[in-house]
Amino acid sequence: MLITDTEYEQIKDILPCGFYKGKKRPDNRLFIEAVLYIAKTGSGWRQLPISYGKWNSIWRRFNRLSESGVMDKIFETLKSKQEETIAIDSTSIKVHQEGIRYKKKTQNLRIK
């Protein structure tokens, strides 16, 4: 289980429910679990286990909810209050000692 009961209670009212195109909408919790699985594993949508449902249906639903801004609201709600923003730039990355000795080959090239 990728989402706790408490977290799901916070977002369940944000997700649309009822019917879509005349059919009963699939389980919202299972949909969120599928999206979190993709985010956690970094795998493609086609590698989504069948236990979550058809990958294409889940992807289309995710795409539709992303375009409408619903997914942004969900992730903003689930974001931890103690979460920090971390910025990494070239001043905070240490270079391996072998990288210091490297000379750019472009310095010796002549531009014609």
112 to 71, 87, 108, 109: CA distances (angstroms):
52, 40, 13, 9
Number of domains in the chain: 1
Burial profile 94-112: b = 16 or more Cβ within 10 angstroms, e = fewer? eeeeeeeeeeeeeeeeeee
| The pTM of the whole model exceeds 0.85 | no
What integer pLDDT is reported at residue 34 of this predicted model?
Answer: 92
Q: Is residue 41 part of a domain?
A: yes
Q: What pLDDT sits at residue 93?
A: 56
Neighbouring residues of 26: CB distance < 8 A, sequence distance ≥ 6 = 53, 57, 61
Q: Do the domain assignments include residue 108? A: no
Residue 110 located in a structural domain: no
Tokens 């997700």 -> residue: 15
Residue ranges of the chain with per-residue pLDDT less than 70:
1, 18-26, 80-112
Residue 59 has what pLDDT?
93
**Is residue 111 in some structural domain?**
no
Domain that holds residue 63: 5-97
In a domain, 112, yes or no: no
pLDDT of 80: 65
